[in-house]
Amino acid sequence: MYFVNAPFFLRWFYPQVTFNRSRKEKKIYLTFDDGPIPEVTPFILDTLKKHNIKATFFCVGENIIKHRDIFERLLAEGHAIGNHTHNHLKGWETEEEHYLRNVEQCQQLTKASLFRPPYARAKKSQLKQLYPKFEVVFWDVLSGDFDQTLPPEKCYQNVVRHSKNGSIIVFHDNLKAIPRVTYALPRVIEYLLKKGFSFEKLTA
């Protein structure tokens, strides 16, 4: 089970985490987790480039190493980069020192000012060590593209029904997400542009 909108108790439990930007401006922040990978990240980049949109990619360190050319394209095309750990670790299941070392291993590659814990699962003690170094970013709209039981159309509806001023939206550039992100992303962009939203990348 997962929540399309970040529930109040998650915001309460993580009071220092960013869930959205200002509600006063008609701006949307697209974010992509888990890449880069050749199977779908180039499609995402092509889609963003078509509309002259900048987004934020929370990258896994081991994928940067495997696919350095795609990572370099992310940088060259002006997108923001976030740290998503080196091995996509679940913080709740990882000893603190190991988790922090893994974040630092990814940081050597990303040089990021933004961090998003995989699965939104990190211990408060882990995040306490990371807050001085990063803006820790969750989201307020979860597309559900990672859910292999979710029809692509429902993924699209999840985003357009819940997006509003300042929304931080999560898609994924991983293998599980491909059928849904390739269907939903172009349609989400076109819909929100017609509604008068602009798209921005996250900056700490």
Say what the pTM is. Answer: 0.96
The single residue of 33, 140, 145, 173 carrying the catalytic annotation is 33
In the predicted model, is pLDDT for residue 62 greater than 80? yes
pLDDT band at 120 (very low <50, low <70, confident <90, very high): confident
Domain boundaries, the chain: 8-199
Note if 147 is an active site residue: no
The single residue of 67, 86, 88, 172 carrying the catalytic annotation is 172
CATH superfamily to which 8-199 belongs = Glycoside hydrolase/deacetylase (3.20.20.370)
Confidence at residue 163, expressed as pLDDT on a 0 to 100 scale:
97
Cβ atoms of 140 and 19 within 8 Å: the answer is: yes
Q: Provide mean pLDDT across the span 6-24.
A: 92
